[in-house]
Structure 1
Amino acid sequence: MKSLIIFCSMFFLAVNVLSGCTVALVGGSAVGGYMIGEDDRKVGRIVDDAIITAELKALLLGDSQIESFKISVDTHQGIVTLTGNVPSKRMINRAIELTRTVEGIEDINSLLRVDDEQAAME
């Protein structure tokens, strides 16, 4: 479990650096403290939600049946919200099916939609 937490911490650090979010890192603890202060979750819950999001994104990326780059994942208080436009209802069902396999999820809110233009191309 400790290695998973370390891995996830390093993963999110890398994502922040690579996505141009270095201001939070350079800005120091005042910025980080402000961001955590603005969140209604405890630090442990924030970490748990981040782990859920990372695990689910990894599952979606690794699944050959899903065009996962079209699906956004957000987790808050154990509730996962999936958003995006996908080419078929089958892809929505598969994303929800994979989401159910991740430990720690309390509920799933799917806002995924079938994009008619993508569906016509498929």
Structure 2
Amino acid sequence: MKRLLTLFFLLALPSLLSACATAAGAGATAGVAASQERGLGVAIDDSAIHAKIWRLWLDTDPHIFLEVGVDVHEGRVLLTGTINSPQNRLDAVRLAWQVKSVRQVIDEIQVTDEGGVLDYSRDVWITAQLRSKVTFDSEILAINYSIETVNKVVYLMGVAQSEAEIDRVIRY
């Protein structure tokens, strides 16, 4: 009997730990959303839009989900990435528009066969450098911005506190 209880505990432990991680992750997400300029309610709506777009893409064609990035701010959806099929690009945009509460879809998806690990690594490095500069600038509320780089093109989306702040971010 003792052996059976030990086995049950060992099998149940991963589920219990993952539940803790989920709760902690949800708490952290709520904390970040509450501190953003757009407010908690809008951040929650944006997260729901994001999740619904991902679900539609996964149900339609997993390649879209894997190759296209999504950023949502105040119902505005920015689609970025590279994809090798014009039809997948059209599907990505069409499906994004199907989600309730989407106010605008900004299509910056590039249709190309080019790109690879080196290009992706370079883009990640560019994004990290810019995010670092914005984060450590005391005159910028960095949490309000999402930064994405695709083929050396930087996409910036968010809510600025002032014209001076957005000018400062763009100067980087």
TM-score range, shorter chain: 0.5 to 0.7
Q: Return the alpha-carbon distance in structure 2 between the equivalents of residues 100 and 42 of structure 1.
A: 23
Q: Using CA pairs under 8 Å that are at least 6 residues apart, name the structure with larger relative contact order, 1 or 2.
A: 1
- Pairing partner for 2:43 from 17, 42, 46: 46
Whether the aligned pair in 2 keeps the contact of 1:53 and 1:73 (CA below 8 Å) is yes
Structure 2 SS opposite 1:60 = helix
Using the size of structure 2 for normalisation, the TM-score is 0.47
Q: Return the alpha-carbon distance in structure 1 between the equivalents of residues 70 and 42 of structure 2.
A: 16
Structure 1 SS opposite 2:114 = helix
- Equivalent position of 1:98 in the other structure: 95
Q: Return the alpha-carbon distance in structure 1 between the equivalents of residues 101 and 45 of structure 2.
A: 8
Task: Give structure 1 stretches of 5+ with no counterpart.
Answer: 1-13
Using the size of structure 1 for normalisation, the TM-score is 0.65
Matched residues, number: 95
What CA RMSD, in Å, does the superposition of the two structures yield over aligned residues? 2.9
- Equivalent position of 2:84 in the other structure: 87
Whether the aligned pair in 1 keeps the contact of 2:82 and 2:110 (CA below 8 Å) is yes
Q: Return the alpha-carbon distance in structure 2 between the equivalents of residues 112 and 38 of structure 1.
A: 30
Q: For residue 106 of structure 1, what is the amino acid of its counterpart?
A: R
Identity %: 26
Structure 2 SS opposite 1:117 = coil
Structure 2 SS opposite 1:99 = helix
Higher alpha-carbon Rg = 2
